[in-house]
Every structure is written in C-alpha cells, then in structure tokens.
C-alpha cells in the first residue's frame, strides 16, 4: 500500500503554555513523505510541545504548520486528524480498563458515524498486528508494556494517518521489543507516510533517520544528515547533560 502523504513544514513556530513564556521560540523544520525525520534534544527542549502543536492540541502563538500548501496552524485537533495527522503521545496512553479492541476503536474517532467502516478498520488492525488477535477482548491493562505499545500504534493507525508524530516510542521497553517497534516505524514510512520521530534513544533514532534536527531551549540547534551526528552522539548527549 502506498499512501500519498504530504510534506510537513513548520515555520518560525512560537508556542507555550503561559503567556509571555514561550517554550518554542522560533522552531522551523521540514519532514518529507516516505522519510523518517528525527527530532533530538535534552529534556525540556520542547520536543513534545512541538508535536502537540503539529497535532493541533496546542495553538501556536505565531508561526505556521503546513501540509504541502495547506496551512493547518491553529486549527482544532479534529481538523488535524481530518488532514491525516496522527500523534502517538509520550508515555503510556492506553485505557487499562478497556479491552484491546475498544482501545483501538478509540482511534477511529473520524469514522465514528459509520459503525460498519469503523468495525472494518479495527478488524484490519488485527490483520496488521496479528500478535494482538488473541488479546482482543482482554483488558489492555493486563498486557505487557510492549504489547500495550503495539495497541497504541494500532489505535494510531486505525484512522490511516498519513503524517505520523511519534513521541519516544521505545521508552520503558526491552531492547527486543524496542527493535520490533522501530521496525514497525520503518515499515510505516516505507508505505509512503511522513514520520516525525522524537526520541531519547538517540542511537536507535539516528540509525533509522533520514534527517536529524536537534532542538535546544526551544530553538533549532543543528540539523543534517544522520551521518553528521552518528560519530559524535556521545558528545552530543554529554553536552545536554553538561558533563
């Protein structure tokens, strides 16, 4: 399946949570379809805030978000969803008391008026993620951390988004499960989607990246080809820690 995905462009983004105290202070970046664009930076740099703005959960103070030529800046989250933008937020986001199937269904918000289409879309996720099939009626809270992350990805994918915003997908997972998650992200990009990935595991992220941005204190610090960062990741991270 090839998905015609738009080019994502963020220009001079200023955004924050308190008036007069912006977290993002003029960030610009560009993410191409069929490519993994990685955003790195120390804790508090504004990476999650950036994804929240692109997903429409936080309105920017100034600056724009474009999908190809369409300006979606400041539109409500539903409008971003309708444009095919999907966010996998940082941290655990499943509803533990709901079943696996119900959790996935929650991602089909845009299809909610058409029960049959929603049912079919959820069923497609059990084809895409066969390891969830036997778990479909189990409370999601009973699953392992890795299985829960796959449920979260299935919930994201049920609406078939073309622009994926993924925030720290491997946090708290064993190396084997993390590898499975990264393979999945590579596969979704190979389908032609646009992927903006934020990650604390800089080594794993740079390994699958096509382009890398580094943010620092809400501003662009550096960007380039992954090869430009690969050799000096240790130095980069030590710089963030101030050691």
Ligand X SMILES: Nc1ncnc2c1ncn2[C@@H]1O[C@H](COP(=O)(O)OP(=O)(O)O)[C@@H](O)[C@H]1O
Instruction: Name the site residues for ligand X (rule: CB under 6 A).
Output: 17, 23, 41, 43-49
DSSP 7-72: PEEEEEEEEEEETTEEEEEEEEEEE-BT-EEEEE--TTSSHHHHHHHHHTSS--SEEEEEETTEE-
Shortest Cβ distance from residue 17 to ligand X (Å)? 3
Q: Is 149 exposed, middle or buried (0-12, 13-18, 19+ CB in 10 A)?
A: buried
How far apart are alpha carbons 152 and 155 in whole angstroms?
Answer: 5
> Binder to Mg ion among 48, 99, 189, 194 (CB under 5 A)?
48
**23 contact choice in Mg ion, ligand X, none (CB below 5 to 8 Å, kind-dependent):** ligand X
Shortest Cβ distance from residue 49 to ligand X (Å)? 3
Shortest Cβ distance from residue 8 to Mg ion (Å)? 18
Shortest Cβ distance from residue 215 to ligand X (Å)? 7
- The CB-nearest residue to Mg ion is 48
Under the binding rule (CB under 5 A), the answer on residue 99 touching Mg ion is: no
User: Is 154 within 8 Å of 81 (Cβ atoms)?
Assistant: no
What are the residues binding Mg ion (CB under 5 A)?
Answer: 47-48, 90
């Amino acid at each position: 399946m090839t998905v015609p995905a738009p080019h994502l462009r963020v220009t001079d983004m200023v955004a924050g949570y308190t008036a007069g105290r912006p977290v993002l202070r003029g960030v610009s970046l560009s993410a191409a379809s069929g490519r993994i664009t990685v955003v790195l930076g120390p804790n508090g740099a504004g990476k999650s805030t950036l994804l929240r703005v692109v997903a429409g959960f936080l309105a920017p103070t100034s600056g724009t978000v474009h999908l190809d030529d369409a300006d979606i800046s400041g539109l409500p989250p539903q409008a971003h969803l309708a444009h095919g933008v999907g966010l996998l937020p940082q941290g655990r986001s499943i509803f533990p008391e709901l079943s696996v199937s119900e959790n996935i269904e929650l991602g089909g918000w845009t299809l909610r008026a058409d029960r049959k289409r929603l049912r079919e879309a959820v069923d497609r996720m059990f084809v895409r993620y066969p390891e969830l099939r036997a778990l479909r009626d189990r409370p999601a809270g009973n699953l392992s951390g890795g299985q829960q992350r796959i449920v979260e990805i299935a919930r994201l994918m049920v609406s078939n988004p073309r622009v994926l915003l993924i925030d720290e997908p491997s946090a708290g997972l064993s190396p084997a499960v993390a590898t499975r998650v990264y393979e999945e992200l590579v596969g979704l990009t190979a389908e032609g989607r646009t992927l903006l990935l934020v990650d604390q595991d800089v080594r794993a992220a740079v390994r699958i990246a096509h382009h890398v941005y580094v943010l620092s204190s809400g501003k662009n610090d550096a960007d380039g080809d992954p090869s430009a960062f690969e050799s000096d990741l240790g130095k980069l991270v030590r710089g963030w820690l101030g050691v």
